[in-house]
Amino acid sequence: MALQLGDIAPDFEAETTQGKIKFHDWLGSSWGVLFSHPKNYTPVCTTELGYTAKLKPQFDRRNVKAIGLSVDKLVDHEGWSKDIEETQGAALNFPLIADPDKKVANLYGMIHPNASDTMTVRSVFVIDPNKKIRLTLTYPASTGRNFDEILRVIDSLQLTDRHKVATPVNWKHGEDVIIVPSLKDEDAKKLFPQGWKTLKPYLRVVAQPKG
Ligand code: BEZ
């Protein structure tokens, strides 16, 4: 069965551009973004990896480690990383897993045989510090992902883990949020003493809590 939200992200050992890792140990107490790209030396993947490298300060601020994967060999990752730096203006600053025997790709269901039985699809797994899978995304090879969206979801997950709120459509950090329906008004008064706007009894809008 495919990995689902709330499952523990499977542990594995793998060769990466930053040495051999044991995945759970490498994650430590950080959040993780594990993402597959279909193939080295391809244009869309080149742009995705360059952009992810540029986002490193944003990942660091959120205590997130990014790690890429393809079913190519380590030596190909090393050669291709020079092209990424040259064309995208950012050198790889996170590890890329070399998975030529598809061990990790199969563990995470990143090969969709009816799309391609040789390449991974564009999978994303956001993993929390308890090693639980909190987000999965699957994109086709021809469509580059929106890594700003991945950061946006992490902002939502980290906020909603800390406070009894949920985030509405297209929410971005700093915008109003929604009080979770399970919280009764009398308890909400203690948590949100500044008050909120009730549009419906189940739709209570409040300023994003600090911290
Ligand atoms: C790309 O990254 O450009 C790509 C990879 C595999 C298939 C199609 C496009």
Q: Phi and psi for 107 in degrees, rounded to 5?
A: -60, -35
What is the predicted pLDDT for the residue at 124?
A: 98
What is the Å distance from ligand 1's center to 128 Cα?
29
pLDDT digits (tens, 9 = 90+) for 157-170: 999 999 999 999 99
On whether both 37 and 106 belong to a single domain, the answer is: yes
Which domain covers residue 132, as residue numbers?
A: 13-145
Quick: pLDDT tens for 66-85. Answer: 999 999 999 999 999 999 99
Q: What is the pLDDT of residue 157?
A: 98
Both 138 and 168 in a single domain?
A: no
**pLDDT band at residue 211, thresholds of 50, 70 and 90?**
confident
Asked, for residue 153, whether it belongs to a domain, the answer is no
What pLDDT does 1 receive?
Answer: 86
Tell me which residues have their CB closer than 6 angstroms to ligand 1. Answer: 38-39, 42-45, 141-142
Specify if 151 maps to a domain.
Answer: no
Number of domains, the chain: 2
Q: Which CATH number is 45's domain given?
A: 3.40.30.10
Which of 45, 53, 84, 119 is flagged as catalytic?
45
Give the whole-angstrom CA distance, residue 58 versus residue 111.
Answer: 29
Share of residues in the chain with pLDDT > 90 (%): 99
Rg of the chain in Å (alpha carbons): 19
